[in-house]
Amino acid sequence: MQLRNDQWEKLAPLLAGKRGDPGVRGKNNRLFIEAVLQVAAGGSRWNNLPPEFGKWHTAYMRFKRWNEYDLWRQLMQAMHGDPELSAMLEQIVAYGDQRTERIRQRSVRHANKRHYHASMHAAKTDSQAASTLHWVGLMAEAPPIINSTMPPASA
């Protein structure tokens, strides 16, 4: 999916990373947005991006940062006058929301797993201690065992 020149002219002034902006500049914002559109709208995977888009991991990390700062949603809202461009950006926003939800779910699963393992370890430690104390208590209460079939030890 590619941006038309008129769509790019509307988006370009709103994007960070152009000449004159502080910090690092993106080499080609238009190419980056087209890469994101290919993944979000085209169903492609990040690591399957064609080489003309540059390193896939760089594009993904940049997408992820923009998503964390909700820049895609801000761009979509700013493009309300162009329904086609707004729809493209809405696909990116929906994709970003899906990614955010996946990350949240993964985080919850990992936290639950850590909690489960910690509680199992604590239960195992508690049961081992209780088991040992139980046997020590039984041995203390029991009368001495004398085996009448064994001869007494000779001195």
Reported as a single tens digit per residue, the pLDDT across 45-77 is 999 999 999 999 999 999 999 999 999 999 999
28-32, 125-129, 132-136: which range is least confident on average?
Answer: 125-129
pLDDT beyond 80 at 27: no
Q: What pLDDT is recorded for position 152?
A: 60
The CA distance from 60 to 39, in Å, is 10
The percent of residues above 90 in pLDDT, for the chain, comes to 43
Q: In this model, does residue 123 exceed pLDDT 90? A: no
Work out the average pLDDT over 113-117: 82
Q: How much is the pLDDT for 130?
A: 65
Percentage of the chain modeled with pLDDT above 70: 74
